[in-house]
């Protein structure tokens, strides 16, 4: 169903419909108790195919490119990057995601979906140029402040041991606050620099995303 540009009521309806359909599919995962990486992969792709109004079959790498065209907070972008990295193995027919990882990703993706759809104004952000303009506007305020004596990498190096200590001491609320700040800096890194920290951050993400028993 194609959105009528400039029609707030139509935009609101489509957004509500997408939210309902996606959350219903997520609930089905929990009801079945079966967390398959392939099923989650198609759920994520279907959501973004509708959300971004893409009319072609895209890969995860192509989705990364499409997502660069819209505004996302650095924390959301970094969290989403991790989820997409996890499910990209499905395209190589080598899905190695454990059910516990899929469940953690599913819970985090639900938060992303709700944030994306709840934050939008029906009368705005309806096509590429509006999204690009908004992205450029907000980047002026969301770019982490750094000075010549302390790089983003140095900030990450300082936060990592504090985060690990809070996890070790089971101070999970404090650990999640530190993690959110860490992800802001991580999201600002160049791709080559992200690779240096990916495994550590991915492991910490898994710990903090695991439901407490």
Taking only the tens place, the pLDDT of each residue in 62-119 is 999 999 888 887 778 888 988 998 888 887 766 666 788 888 889 889 989 988 887 5
Domain C-terminal end among 116, 143, 170: 143
Q: Indicate whether 193 and 121 sit together in one domain.
A: no
Torsion angle defined by CA atoms of residues 116, 121, 187 and 47, in that order, rounded to the nearest 10 degrees? 30
- The first and second tokens of residue 154, run together, are 């140095």
Number of domains in the chain: 2
pLDDT in tens, 8-51: 567 777 888 898 899 999 999 888 888 888 899 999 999 999 99
Domain limits for position 4: 1-143
Q: Which of 143, 167, 187 is the last residue of a domain?
A: 143
> For residues 119 and 194, which has the higher predicted lDDT (pLDDT)?
194
| Statement to judge: residues 165 and 103 lie in one domain | no
Task: Indicate if 12 and 65 belong to the same structural domain.
Answer: yes
Closest CA to 100 of 163, 39, 41, 37: 37
Same domain, 127 and 155: no
137-173 pLDDT, tens per residue?
444 434 444 443 358 888 888 889 888 888 888 888 8
Q: Indicate whether 151 and 132 sit together in one domain.
A: no
| 87 lies in the same domain as 19 | yes
Mean pLDDT of the chain: 77
pLDDT band at 198 (very low <50, low <70, confident <90, very high): confident
Asked if 178 and 109 sit in the same domain, the reply is no
């Amino acid at each position: 169903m194609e959105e009528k540009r400039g029609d707030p009521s139509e935009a609101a309806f489509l957004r509500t419909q997408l939210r309902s359909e996606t959350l219903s599919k997520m609930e089905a995962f929990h009801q079945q108790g079966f967390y398959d990486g392939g099923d989650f992969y198609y759920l994520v792709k279907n959501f973004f195919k509708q959300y971004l109004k893409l009319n072609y079959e895209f890969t995860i790498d192509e989705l990364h490119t499409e997502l660069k065209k819209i505004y996302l907070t650095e924390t959301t972008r970094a969290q989403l990057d991790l989820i997409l990295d996890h499910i990209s193995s499905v395209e190589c027919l080598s899905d190695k995601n454990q059910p516990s990882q899929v469940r953690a990703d599913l819970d985090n993706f639900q938060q992303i979906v709700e944030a994306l759809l709840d934050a939008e104004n029906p009368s705005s952000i309806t096509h590429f140029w509006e999204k690009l303009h908004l992205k450029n506007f907000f980047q002026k305020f969301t770019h982490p402040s750094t000075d010549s004596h302390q790089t983003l990498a140095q900030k990450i190096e300082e936060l990592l041991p504090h985060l690990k200590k809070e996890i070790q001491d089971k101070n999970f609320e404090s650990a999640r606050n530190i993690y959110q700040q860490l992800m802001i800096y991580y999201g600002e890194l160049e791709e080559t620099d992200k690779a240096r920290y990916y495994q550590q951050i991915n492991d910490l993400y898994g710990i903090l995303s695991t439901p407490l028993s």
